[in-house]
Amino acid sequence: MPGHETLLLLLLFAEIACFSIVGIRFGTADNVANIVRPSVEMGLLALVMTPIILTLKIGCAREHRIRGMPPRRKPKLPPTLIGKR
């Protein structure tokens, strides 16, 4: 049985084939470029931002300190909900 990634790739190719048959201009170079361009931009932004987020350890606590807000605390559960299933 193929992995999930292989199955998703086959489904993607099936969608592309279906839309290319049904839509007149779906498979044109201009339309493919318009589909790929935003994906590449988001991928490049994610690639650049990942080391920044990991290096600065940006998270909720840091955001709250920067904004001068108190950090969020976990809600306290009533004793009847703790440990019972």
The token duo for 43 is 């991928």
pLDDT digits (tens, 9 = 90+) for 55-84: 776 655 555 555 555 656 666 666 665 555
Q: Are 31 and 25 in contact (CB under 8 A)?
A: yes
Structure tokens at 42: 């988001």
Structural domain boundaries in the chain = 4-67
Other C-beta atoms lying within 10 Å of the C-beta of residue 36: 10
Can you tell me the distance from the alpha carbon of 11 to that of 26, in angstroms, rounded to the nearest whole number?
A: 17
Quick check: 20 and 26 in contact, CB under 8 A? Answer: yes
pTM over cut 0.75: no
